[in-house]
Amino acid sequence: MEQEKLNFNIRLAIRHSLRVLYARKKMQDFFPLTTLSEYQNLSDEQIEHIDQFVYRFQKLQDDMGTKLFKSVVANLGETEVFNKPILDILNTLKKYGVISDNINWQTMREIRNALAHEYLDDINSDRALLNYLFETKGLELIQIFKEILDYITTNLYSNLDEGTKIEINRFYEALAKSDFSDSKD
- List, as one string, the DSSP characters of 78-136: -SSGGGS-HHHHHHHHHHHTSS-TT--HHHHHHHHHHHHS-S-SSHHHHHHHHHHIIII
Looking at the structure of the chain, the number of domains it has is 1
Q: What is the pLDDT along the chain (185 residues), one digit of tens a residue?
A: 899 999 999 999 999 999 999 999 999 999 999 998 998 999 999 999 999 999 999 999 999 999 999 999 999 999 888 889 999 999 999 999 999 887 888 889 888 888 877 655 677 888 889 999 999 999 999 999 999 999 999 999 999 999 999 999 999 999 999 877 544 44
Domain with 25, as residue range(s), is: 2-183
| Single pTM value for the model | 0.91
pLDDT of residue 181: 59
pLDDT of residue 104: 84
